[in-house]
Amino acid sequence: MRVLLDKGYRVITYDRRGFGNSSQPSFGYDYDTFAEDLNTLIAKLDLRDVVLVGFSMGTGEVTRYLGYGSERVSKAVLMAPVPPFLLKTDDNPEGVERSVFDGIMKSIVEDRPAYLSAFFKDFYNVDVLLGDRISNEAIQMSWNVAAGASAKGTLDCVPSWLTDFRDDLPRIDVPSLIIHGDGDRILPFEAAAAN
């Protein structure tokens, strides 16, 4: 964000419902609602010529939003994308087994703080990057933000990761950059961007 601001761009970041400083409702943790939340923000601020940048879960918001139309958007960036479709099915053999998502939900219910600690070890590839590219303090800061999120929202978001975006993608009519590393332990390249 700082680099973009230094280059003179207006940068708007927002917290998804249930996370950060947003409200923590007990409903609406699906990509249709997330896209509507994004639309509400863009319309309320009367933004135009927007470059939407989504990371991880946020790529689903961007994809679903653009699946509805791009009138106010000029470009998009999807970093470590959830789309096109994560779930392994007969017509998506490269996807992730449903049991993985069931296990995530079970871990969140049993001990959400412990789940978050394990998640961030994989998220930051700490066995490779700790001390070189990431500090314990940065990991702790991420953990603090995640622990402050809605417990219900954290759990309810997991099924949203199984959203099928394959019908949304052909509707995207703005230049879009996709960035995905092959060392991603959260969203495997083969199951996401490679598709």
> Over its length of 195 residues, how does the chain's per-residue pLDDT go in tens digits?
999 999 999 999 999 999 999 999 999 999 999 999 999 999 999 999 999 999 999 999 999 999 999 999 999 999 999 999 999 999 999 999 999 999 999 999 999 999 999 999 999 999 999 999 999 999 999 999 999 999 999 999 999 999 999 999 999 999 999 999 999 999 988 888 887
Residue 57 belongs to what domain range?
Answer: 2-191
Instruction: For 147-168, give one letter per residue: b (16+ CB within 10 A) or e.
Output: eebbeebbbbbbebbebbbeeb
Q: Domain holding 63: CATH number?
A: 3.40.50.1820
- Which backbone phi and psi does 25 adopt, to 5 degrees? -70, 165
For the record, the structure tokens of 149 come out as 């999120």
DSSP element (H, E) containing 128: helix 126-129
The Cα–Cα gap between 43 and 39 comes to 6
At residue 193, the pLDDT reads: 81
Q: Number of structural domains, the chain?
A: 1
Whether the Cβ atoms of residue 98 and residue 77 lie closer than 8 Å to each other: no
Whether the Cβ atoms of residue 74 and residue 174 lie closer than 8 Å to each other: yes
The Cα–Cα gap between 108 and 78 comes to 26
pTM here is 0.94
176, β-bridge pairs:
76
Coil, strand, or helix at residue 68?
helix
